[in-house]
Amino acid sequence: MTKLCIFVGMMVGSYGFWFLGEKLGWEFLGCFLLSGVGSLAGVYAGWKLARKLEG
């Protein structure tokens, strides 16, 4: 369950932050870097969600 939550959180976070970068008018590199930040945030959020669901 933990791996699934982390994976989904990473995908959603990555895409969401990329989309935010596009809306801000950033170029590819800016969106790519922002997507990395979103991936990290998604991993953390997925991990916290998995802990809450398991415990």
What predicted TM-score, i.e. pTM, was given to this entire model? 0.89
Crossing angle of the two packed helices 2-23 and 28-54, in degrees rounded to 10: 150
> How far apart (Å, rounded) are the C-alpha atoms in residues 15 and 19?
6
1-55: pLDDT as tens digits: 999 999 999 999 999 999 999 999 999 999 999 999 999 999 999 999 999 999 8
